[in-house]
Chain A
């Protein structure tokens, strides 16, 4: 059974089909990429998996659980972590505090416990900051722990979002254009980080425009065009697919 199964999923916004009958699966331990021209529906797929949208038809099944009717915070608890295309770090908080928010789905202390600083809350706080520190080390941002997240350059914002998602103990990580705005060195560092995350047993699904990056790290690629899947397979096969080249790669690889 695949870890994630996208089954006959469609999504329309007021008569406009953003996704039409899309099928694909992601298996445990894979790095899978979702590519396609702008407006192909890649981010829509992410929003459907993470619960921001509900599919108009079809089902999204993760680890045997139907996500279709679940809220984003519940999906996080089931083990889906994500980052955002336009970096959504919490500007007014420090880098470390940002990552502790990732522990929210793994802790319980409520308003009363926090207000009175009861033992449960204090224990969870210690644990949250410890895990947050570890998550920062996993992406190499430990040196920036006390900086304000709003002051980070773009490349490090992406890494911070990854660290934050890692703190939720995901089984699967959705990365939305993690390489956008990165220089070559940063992209290389990102590729290393993503591979390391996979080697830790976390499955990765990513949306990316940077073709070199996609071809280098992905096991499999799904190509979307106008909301339809036009190809799926290993990177080399995708690069040879005529339809894909016509729709997308021809221009992107120039």
Chain B
């Protein structure tokens, strides 16, 4: 093996180990209930990756990601059930549409900062939600759309839990690789730079408006693809799944998981998917209340340390010599 390949493997060791662990789960886990939870985790991980790029890397908050998940789901559903499109093509077209809408929305809104951007994206989410409910001839209103086909490759049906696990997580891992590559690249550094100081980033040649719109479009495409996957797995969608509440949970998850690295998206996803499942078993009725309280508690306890556990440990080790602060504000959403 060449030296280059070794360096490459070492640099990406964490990712490869993670990928192997995830992809081998269907070999020993046969319970379709747990596999379904994992499948949902996969698609939420895709959405969270987009949020992580947008919020963690570029410091731009979007409380409207559920709108793009909805466009992905409805795009897939309408194109396959009404027009007989191939599911993969429908997914691609919906992602394209999401990215275009994100671009159109992003140009005026990404000039806004902090709270204003949050409000504007909330508004976008609400508009899309209302359209999903009101455009009855297209979306079937609150009744939703059923009979959405499964994914398949040729004659190979991917509707079963194991096959679906492999394809959904396969795509999620691909997105994680893309997010990791981006965060380590010139593009990623320009995003971290503009999060830290837009004037400084601009003085070094970063077109900050363009970059923000770009990352917003990428996040929208990720969310959209995730939404399409969900639709193909559950075969039924209704507007309820794409409300502001869901957008907020997504952002909360990513903040809990840690904004400093792409891995934060995974831990955050795990928290927002697994916690409600556990709570449901303990007590059915007040699940949402307890979930909310837990999220608040984690946020408060985690405040200022939103850089993922791995990063925390590393900064701790580095700083043992000189006692310096570990927080530099990089984790604050509105920074």
Contact = CB atoms under 8 A, between A and B. Distances in A.
B214 A111 contact: yes
A125 B185 contact: yes
A96 B13 CA distance: 23
A165 interface: yes
Contact of B178 (A100, A116, A148): A116
Contacts of B329: 91
B186 interface: yes
Interface string A100-124: 1111111101110011110001001
A93 B186 contact: no
Category for how many chain A residues contact B: 35 or more
B7 interface: no
Interface string B181-192: 110011111101
A165 B260 CA distance: 26
Interface stretch (A10-18, A73-81, A202-210, A223-231): A73-81
A110 B207 CA distance: 12
Contacts of B181: 114-117
Nearest to A91: B328
Nearest to A51: B202
A72 B208 CA distance: 10
B187 A97 contact: no
B324 interface: yes
Overall SS of chain B's interface: helix
Interface stretch (B16-24, B193-201, B295-303): B193-201
Contact of B201 (A101, A107, A109, A111): A101
Contact of B203 (A76, A97, A125): A76
A242 B25 CA distance: 83
30 contacts: A50-B203, A51-B202, A71-B207, A73-B202, A76-B202, A77-B205, A84-B199, A89-B200, A90-B200, A92-B330, A93-B193, A100-B186, A100-B189, A101-B190, A101-B201, A101-B206, A104-B189, A104-B190, A104-B206, A106-B205, A107-B186, A109-B186, A109-B187, A110-B187, A111-B182, A115-B181, A115-B187, A150-B328, A161-B200, A164-B204
Interface of A: 50-52, 71-73, 76-77, 81-82, 84, 88-93, 97, 100-107, 109-111, 114-117, 121, 124-125, 128, 148, 150-151, 161, 164-165, 167-168
Given A88-B200, A117-B181, 17 more contacts: A52-B202, A71-B202, A71-B207, A73-B207, A81-B203, A91-B196, A92-B330, A93-B196, A101-B189, A104-B201, A106-B205, A107-B186, A121-B185, A125-B185, A148-B328, A151-B324, A161-B200
